[in-house]
């Protein structure tokens, strides 16, 4: 049996070193896919009104704001003006988090100890002709057009790049992945709470949203004990 | 950083999943990495990140098999190789043939369980099937390989 194991391993070939060009090509491919997906979703008009869509599409094509030669991180899909309004959250608070602000017309679609999904009201009541497995709006594990909050061990992230900011007295980093910006908040010595907004929020709105987020200690402790995996509730 | 760390091992896995087709293996890795990029937050919430990556590769394999154009693109069984590095299929043609004879899910089961030593639960996540199916698929795959590669696999060996 060990002969087969050895033979199969040899068959798979050596694990090749990866060049910088290959990595850049992979990342560029991923960024294009994200843009295509987002554009298609916006065009479908499933999340926002026509006016908001027009504004969102307009800012999609814009370039990052440049101030004194320094590139400013773009939150979410790069909103430079407020197309969504943040309001006080008045719904039932999640079990493991307290949230102060949400975009107007959004609700908590999923709540578990490792995170939250905050989705537009349109996701509440799928019509009879909707297939939730096809339309990702109704899938609480799909974050397209939504805000996701999730906890993760710091060891999983490694070194982070981005603007360092203060969020409600906590150190945080605005980390850009393609056209999406994550607000990565340090909530303990070994756990981050990441706010990922795939909706047109400005940088100020994303920081305000993060400042209003409180993670309960029990959830932080539970995530701190994990080793790169998330237990089921 | 993720790509730098994971791409090489993913390519190793993809070569096994494709029974030594290096070109298809590269396609699978690119497709899987793109899907992981798009679903990065979901990946980070995954119960098992390793199983999530393996599932992305497996789904890419199944999607490739469903593409009709590939049948026309590859009208011959053996794609002639250039003067580059020898392929796995050319260095061990017997094993390549034995792997090609396995249905893709069965091949993936034996690769994940036997080569990567993943547990049944993670393999089930990766293949999107039940743990029972993983066990039966792995056992049947090893049986078939035993038939093809008799001298290497002792009778009665299971996983």
Q: What is the pLDDT of residue B33?
A: 93
Contact A18 B3 (CB under 8 A): yes
Which residues from A are below 8 Å from B37, CB to CB? 26-27, 29-31, 33-34, 177-178
Which residue on chain B is closest to A34 by alpha carbon?
Answer: B38
Q: What is the pLDDT of residue B89?
A: 66
| Distance, CA of A78 to chain centre | 14
Q: Is the pLDDT of residue B81 over 70?
A: no
Region B134-149: what's the mean pLDDT?
A: 89
Which residue on chain B is closest to A38 by alpha carbon?
Answer: B38
Q: For chain A, how big is the Rg over CA atoms in Å? A: 20
> Which residues partner with A26 through β-bridges?
none
Task: Establish if B97 touches chain A: CB-CB under 8 angstroms.
Answer: no
Q: What is the pLDDT of residue B67?
A: 53
Longest dimension (CA), chain B: 46
More confident residue, A55 or B104: B104
Q: What per-residue string of b and e applies to A65-92 under the rule 16 or more CB within 10 Å gives b?
A: eeeeeeeebbbbbbbbeebbebeebeee
| Distance, CA of A54 to chain centre | 22
- Residue B65 has φ and ψ, to the nearest 5°, of -65, -25
Q: Which of A147-156, A176-185, B135-144 has the lowest mean pLDDT?
A: A176-185
Task: Establish if B152 touches chain A: CB-CB under 8 angstroms.
Answer: yes
* Residue range A155-173, pLDDT digits in tens: 767 677 788 999 989 999 9
Q: How far is A214 from chain B (nearest CA, A)?
A: 19
- pLDDT tier at B88 (50, 70, 90 boundaries)? low
Q: How far is CA A140 from CA A56, A94, A165, in A?
A: 22, 15, 29
* Residue range B24-40, pLDDT digits in tens: 899 999 999 998 888 88
Which of B41, B48, B154 has its CB closest to that of A229? B48
Rounded Cα distance between A64 and B94, Å, is 55
- pLDDT tier at A187 (50, 70, 90 boundaries)? very high
* Residue range A58-107, pLDDT digits in tens: 433 333 333 333 333 333 444 555 678 999 999 999 999 999 999 999 99
Q: Which of A75-79, A213-217, B3-7, B60-64 has the lowest mean pLDDT?
A: A75-79
Contact B92 A13 (CB under 8 A): no
Task: Establish if B139 touches chain A: CB-CB under 8 angstroms.
Answer: no
Region B53-57: what's the mean pLDDT?
A: 92
Longest dimension (CA), chain A: 65
Task: Establish if B145 touches chain A: CB-CB under 8 angstroms.
Answer: yes
Q: Is the pLDDT of residue B58 over 80?
A: yes
- Residue A98 has φ and ψ, to the nearest 5°, of -125, 130
Q: For chain B, how big is the Rg over CA atoms in Å? A: 16
Which residue on chain A is closest to B25 by alpha carbon?
Answer: A12
Q: What is the pLDDT of residue B87?
A: 62
Which of A10, A33, A194 has its CB closest to that of B34? A33
Region A96-124: what's the mean pLDDT?
A: 91
Which residues from B are below 8 Å from A27, CB to CB? 3, 37
- Reported ipTM: the value is 0.78
Region A6-31: what's the mean pLDDT?
A: 83
Task: Establish if B46 touches chain A: CB-CB under 8 angstroms.
Answer: yes
Angle at which helices B49-66 and B2-17 cross, to 10°: 50
Q: How far is A123 from chain B (nearest CA, A)?
A: 18
Element (H, E) at A83: none
pTM of the model: 0.51
* Residue range A203-225, pLDDT digits in tens: 899 999 999 999 999 999 888 77
Contact A141 B42 (CB under 8 A): yes
Q: Is the pLDDT of residue A231 over 90?
A: no
Q: What is the pLDDT of residue B150?
A: 62
Is there a contact between A75 and A202 (Cβ–Cβ < 8 Å)?
yes
């Amino acid at each position: 049996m060990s002969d087969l194991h050895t033979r199969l391993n040899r068959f798979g070939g050596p694990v090749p070193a990866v060049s910088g060009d290959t990595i850049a090509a992979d990342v560029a491919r991923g960024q294009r896919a994200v843009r295509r997906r987002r554009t298609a979703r916006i065009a479908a008009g499933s999340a926002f009104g026509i006016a908001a869509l027009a504004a969102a599409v307009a800012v999609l094509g814009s370039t990052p704001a440049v101030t004194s030669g320094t590139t400013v991180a773009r939150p979410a899909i790069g909103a430079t003006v407020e197309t969504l309004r943040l309001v006080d959250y008045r719904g039932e608070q999640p079990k493991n988090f307290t949230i102060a602000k949400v975009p107007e017309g959004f609700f908590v679609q999923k709540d578990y100890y490792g995170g939250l999904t905050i989705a537009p009201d349109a996701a509440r009541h799928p019509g009879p002709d909707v297939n939730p497995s096809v339309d990702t709006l109704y899938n609480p594990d799909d974050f397209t057009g939504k805000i996701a909050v999730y906890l993760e061990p710091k060891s999983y992230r490694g070194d982070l790049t981005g603007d360092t900011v203060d969020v409600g007295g906590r150190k945080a980093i605005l980390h850009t992945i393609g056209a999406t910006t994550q607000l990565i908040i340090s909530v303990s010595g070994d756990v981050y709470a990441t706010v990922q907004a795939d909706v047109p929020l400005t940088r100020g709105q994303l920081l305000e949203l993060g400042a209003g987020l409180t993670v309960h200690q029990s959830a932080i402790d539970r995530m701190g004990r994990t080793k790169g995996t998330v237990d089921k509730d | 950083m993720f790509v730098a760390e994971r791409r090489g091992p993913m390519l190793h896995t993809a070569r096994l999943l494709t029974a030594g087709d290096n070109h298809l293996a590269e396609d699978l890795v690119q497709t899987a990495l793109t899907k992981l990029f798009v679903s990065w937050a979901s990946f980070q919430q995954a119960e098992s990140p390793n199983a999530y990556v393996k599932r992305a590769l497996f789904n890419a394999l199944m999607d490739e098999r469903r593409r009709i154009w590939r049948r026309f693109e590859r009208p011959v069984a053996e794609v002639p190789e250039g003067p580059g590095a020898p392929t796995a299929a050319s260095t061990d043609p017997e094993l390549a043939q034995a792997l090609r004879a396995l249905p893709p899910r069965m091949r993936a089961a034996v690769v994940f369980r036997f080569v990567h030593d993943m547990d049944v639960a993670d393999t089930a996540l990766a293949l999107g099937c039940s743990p029972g199916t993983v066990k039966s698929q792995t056992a049947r795959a090893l049986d078939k390989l035993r038939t093809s590669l008799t001298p290497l696999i002792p009778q009665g060996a299971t996983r």
